[in-house]
Structure 1
Amino acid sequence: MYFFVQGLQEKIKLVPIDLQNRPDWYKEKVYPPNKVPSLEHNNEIQGESFDLLKYIDSYFEGPALCPDDPTKREFAEELLSYTNTFNLAVITSLKGGYENEISTAFDYLKSALFKFTDGPFFLGQFNLVDIAYAPFIERFYPLLLDVKKYDITAGRPMLTSWIDVH
């Protein structure tokens, strides 16, 4: 989705690889940490999802995904740094942890969505934070509903709206 938003589908060649059995050439010639995704541009290799998105936002034309407003930019960094905590809370609860960890994690997102109300996205308008959280929420929503009978949207209308626009 991000590549289409940025208009990069013609400028970036996507190379699918088997994530369960990554080819040797990927680690040897592309990205030694052997993580995905990665990007080769101007004879440099970029990796780590958030760094990669920021790099693309800086070096390619298209709608900006990092906000210009300093308050929004600072909050974006806070939300991006929270992704590991968010994921750990949900995964821990799925492995038998406490349900209140799930609730706390999604309540944090609920509060974040209420901070800027100039649109249905984190920070109001579509941005880097939405791209960061989308894959996790898209997976966790049906999984938690099925496994834990926990509806992440219950009592969180802004999260419902956010999911609807994705």
Structure 2
Amino acid sequence: MATPSVLEVRPPALTSISEPLPFFDGTTRLYICYLCPFAQRAWITRNCKGLQDKIELVPIDLKNRPAWYKEKVYPTNKVPSLEHNSKVLGESLDLIRYIDANFEGAPLFPTDPAKREFGEQLISHVDTFTSGIYPTFKGDPIQQTSAAFDYLENALGKFDDGPFFLGQFSLADIAYVSFLERFQIVFSEIFKHDITAGRPKLATWIQVRSSVQSKNIVI
């Protein structure tokens, strides 16, 4: 992992009255919303690889977004998106892979075949995991989400060379981190439940993840 740089000054979010940027002028731009968990995946990947000087951060106000973003940058009008080499790419899980593979910096995905295979399984499962949590908020979330959090606990026991899913911090962790952080807060503050109770590996992951994340992004 790249050595963290000095804490980045966050530019203000662009709104409907913001002037258009000089699109496709050779600048690589990552369009995000600071509070969007999908965008945070790409933001964390950028910072973990030490690309703050290579990829310009362009925050968008999603409640008052500029019309030119949809018209000239990304027709789906969502974040994150990445303007690079005269094209624009989107979808957060695709972007974290793209940033890792196409820019300098320590790789965030292992070369070990067993770890790569398991990492892809975890990344493929993340949408199933997150989409299964939200509906439980109207029912019995503690009981209904037990299997989902147990899945993560078991996954964290797959390798023993580090506290993260693939041993060392990787794209697999980045895929889950911004959502797990929110779930931990919701379960603790609203449902008065600790999702790490009886799950020591998940507890360690959350504790160590906080240290890694705080050096690369402040959410």
Q: Same fold (TM over 0.5)?
A: yes
Instruction: Give the superposition deviation at 1:3.
Output: 2.2
Contact 2:155 2:165 in 1 (8 A): yes
Whether the 8 Å CA contact 2:45–2:100 is kept in 1: the answer is: no
**1:157, 1:99 → 2: CA distance?**
17
In structure 2, C-alpha distance between the alignment counterparts of 1:110 and 1:10, rounded to whole Å: 36
2:12 match: none
Tell me, which stretches of 5 or more residues in structure 2 are unaligned?
1-43, 210-219
**Equivalent position of 2:8 in the other structure:** none
Q: Please say if 1:45 is aligned against 2:88.
A: yes
Instruction: Say which structure is richer in helix.
Output: 1
TM-score, structure 1 as length reference: 0.94
Superposition deviation, residue 92 in structure 1? 1.1
Greater mean alpha carbon deviation, residues 99-108 or residues 130-139? 99-108
CA deviations 1:34-84 (Å, max 9, x no partner) are 121010111111110011011111110111112211211111111111111
CA RMSD of aligned residues (A): 1.3
Q: Is contact 2:45–2:99 with CA below 8 Å preserved after alignment?
A: no
Q: Which residue of structure 1 lines up, in the alignment, with residue 186 of structure 2?
A: 143
1:120 and 1:31 map into 2 onto residues whose CA distance is 37
Which of 106, 129, 152 is 2:195 aligned to? 152
Greater than 3 Å deviation, 4+ residue runs: none
Paired letter, 1:126:
F
Is it true that 1:73 corresponds to 2:123 in the alignment? no
Q: Which residue of 2 aligns with 1:109?
A: 152
Query: 120-129 or 23-32: which moved more?
Result: 23-32
8 Å Cα contact 2:156/2:202 also seen in 1: yes
Amino acid at match of 2:127: N
Partner of 1:14: 57
Which SS does the other structure have where 2:83 is aligned? strand
Structure ranking higher on relative contact order (CA contacts 8 Å, 6+ apart): 2
Q: Check the 8 A contact 1:89/1:101 in 2, yes or no.
A: no
Instruction: Return the offset for 1:97.
Output: 5.0
What is the rounded CA distance, in whole Å, between the counterparts of 1:109 and 1:78 in structure 2?
A: 12
**What is the aligned partner in structure 2 of residue 54 from structure 1?**
97
Bigger drift between 123-132 and 67-76 goes to 67-76
**Cα distance between partner residues in 1 of 2:93 and 2:83:** 15
**Cα distance, 1:155 vs structure 2:** 0.7
2:162 corresponds to which of 107, 119, 135 = 119
Paired positions, count: 166
Q: Percent identity over the alignment?
A: 58
TM-score, normalisation: structure 2: 0.72
Deviations 1:83-131 (A, max 9, x none): 1111122101112255333111100000110001110111111100111
Matches of 1:13 and 1:29, distance apart in 2: 17
Indicate the SS of the match to 1:64.
coil
Q: Which moved more, 1:66-75 or 1:153-162?
A: 66-75
Displacement of 1:165 in angstroms is 1.2
Q: Is the 8 A contact 2:163 2:201 kept in 1?
A: yes
